[in-house]
Amino acid sequence: MGLVFQSSEKPHMHTNGYKVLITGGASGIGLALARRFHAAGNTVVLAGRRADALAEAARTLPGAQTEVADITQDTDRARLLRAHGDTSVLVNNAGIQINRSLLEQTEADIRRELDTNLIAPVLLTHAFLPVLLRQPQAAVINVSSGLAIVPKEVASLYCASKAALHSFSQTLRWQLEGTPVQVFELLPPLVDTAMTQGRGQGKISPEALADAFWHAFSTGHHEVLAGKTRLLALINRLSPALAQRIMRKGL
């Protein structure tokens, strides 16, 4: 798989001994990342909206904890912080994508997509930062998208929210220089998950994406462009107009 890594001068993260809280952890990318962290000897907490899906996921990860939570709700974010104040790795993975034109969406659709993909991760990070800063080593891991680089026509709010999360990840990394907290960003291509069912070709598996991330995490590289995201970034660097033409209808 093609990858681009952005390195940092901070010491490499250890790979075990952490308590890892993963939003959207019951399936797809979140569960694949959970399996990677769990296999390395970390305590994993899976957070999500569906108790049944969380329970099913946890059965494959002995010792994993689960939290039924809607991260767009203030009360649920506060409850996660109270219950897991010893977290050392926060993975902001939960996201939704609505593939309709703006005129076809309701105001509720718009708020839900922006709240889930951008506002909730920022607020959750804000809430957990004091906790993370007390750890010897800690990390914030934001799962954005290759669509943060060049948007596609049919998912304007998803692309906008992921572009904002990409910018947030960069600036947060700068703000936390000289602290124990490292900021990682994973920019996936099209991944074979429930969210992408029936759409697109050439998808990679969540497990392949998790493998790519794990290599970056364990070697101290903070920005991970996986698979076709690397190609898209290269095309955009050479010819932004061509990249936009390619993405008008999506890869």
Which residues does the chain have with pLDDT short of 70?
Answer: 1-10, 194-202, 249-251
148-177 burial: b if 16+ Cβ within 10 Å, else e: bbbbbebbbbbbbbbbbbbebbeebbeebe
The verdict on whether 158 is a catalytic residue reads yes
Alpha carbon distance 92, 56 (integer Å): 21
Q: What are phi and psi of 166, to 5 degrees?
A: -60, -50
3-state secondary structure the chain: CCEEEEECCCCCCCCCCCEEEEECCCCHHHHHHHHHHHHCCCEEEEEECCHHHHHHHHCCCCCCEEEECCCCCHHHHHHHHHHCCCCCEEEECCCCCCCCCHHHCCHHHHHHHHHHHHHHHHHHHHHHHHHHHCCCCEEEEEECCHHHCCCCCCCHHHHHHHHHHHHHHHHHHHHCCCCCEEEEEEECCCECCHHHCCCCCCCECHHHHHHHHHHHHHHCEEEEEECHHHHHHHHHHHCHHHHHHHHCCCC
Q: ∠77-16-63 over CA atoms, to 5°? A: 60
- Taking alpha carbons only, the member of 234, 170, 210, 203 closest to residue 6 is 170
Number of structural domains found in the chain: 1
Query: What pLDDT shows up at residue 248?
Result: 80
Please tell me which residue in 18, 128, 158, 184 is annotated as part of the active site. Answer: 158
Whether this prediction's pTM lies above 0.85 is answered by yes
Query: What pLDDT shows up at residue 251?
Result: 46
Query: What pLDDT shows up at residue 1?
Result: 42
CATH code of 198's domain: 3.40.50.720
- Beta 138-143 vs 89-92: how paired, if at all? parallel
Counting every residue written for the chain, the total comes to 251
Query: What pLDDT shows up at residue 165?
Result: 98
- In which domain, by residue range, is 161 found? 3-247
- Which residue shows structure tokens 């409850």? 79
Q: Where does residue 244 rank: exposed (0-12), middle (13-18), buried (19+ CB within 10 A)?
A: middle
Query: What pLDDT shows up at residue 160?
Result: 97
